[in-house]
Amino acid sequence: MNVEVEYSDLEGVEGAEAILAAITPTSRAIKAAYNQLGDDGVEALVAALPPHIERLDLTDNEVGDRGLLTTLGYAARNSGLKHLSLAFNAIHLDEATTAPAIAALNAFHLESLTLFSNHLEPAAMTELFEHLSAPQLSTLQMSRCNVDDEAAAAIANYLSSPRAGALTTLDLGNNWLSALAVKDIIDAVESAHYGLVHLSLASHGLRGTRGCILFKPDYDPKADVAAPQLVEIVHELQSRLPGVLTRNRELCRRTMAAAARAR
């Protein structure tokens, strides 16, 4: 039986102890989102977490960099953990945290990592994508993570390399990528990554404008005089990206069908 304790007002070490007490030998997932465990609670939880947990959701738990490193350390020691969510927390990936976090990510067999709505340092994003090489990572959710053009080249290089071979889903929406950065990322997928079937680059804000604009089908960028780059971004997202992803999905479908026939 999985542990489901969302919105349970669990705080700190005592909250962690309550979660641990609910785990059984058949538990495979812990859904502990929207509590207040903090770094101390996460450390206490991870220190006693059994190795058979496959999914850990710590969304919105006031987790910082220390809690991130602790959680990734557990994952590096226990290859059974496949899905980790740390969205809506207080993770920044400062200079002291980034390298060990990347080393831990590359050391275990995580399949999905959700970090959206953490205000990450731009320099850390560049370092992350320059060195990320998680062999089974298929889903990476980084919407609202303060990703800007500083990391764009590293993202494009990552997507063009074998290091991203397992990646099928990448969410970079609601960040600060310019039209040129969006184009470079789509170019990388079009030319080198035929396995990526879900890519979100929508709803980007431009520094100096007021907030982010959600690209809906009826949005008219020509009427938006405050953000001239939006014309190019909308073209890339509405004209090119759907075709690239449709091609990739068809290639994946054919590959799976051929594999099935070969059995």
Number of folded domains in the chain? 1
Contact between 179 and 152 under an 8 Å Cβ cutoff? The reply is no
Among residues 172, 40, 179, 37, which one has the least CA distance to residue 115? 172
> What is the average pLDDT value for the chain, to the nearest integer?
87
CATH of the domain at 237: 3.80.10.10
How far is Cα 181 from Cα 233, in angstroms, rounded to an integer?
9
- CA angle 29/87/58 to nearest 5° reads 35
User: Residue 207's pLDDT is what?
Assistant: 43
Contact between 38 and 66 under an 8 Å Cβ cutoff? The reply is no
Q: What percent of the chain has pLDDT over 70?
A: 87
Q: Which two tokens mark 188?
A: 């990388």
User: Residue 227's pLDDT is what?
Assistant: 52
pLDDT digits (tens, 9 = 90+) for 216-236: 444 455 554 445 566 666 666
Mean pLDDT of 200-213: 53
Q: Which domain holds residue 239?
A: 3-262
Helix (H) / strand (E) containing 131: helix 122-131
pLDDT digits (tens, 9 = 90+) for 52-109: 999 999 999 999 999 999 999 888 787 789 999 999 999 999 989 999 999 999 987 8
Q: Look at residue 211 and tell me whether its pLDDT is greater than 70.
A: no
pLDDT tier at 6, thresholds 50, 70, 90: very high
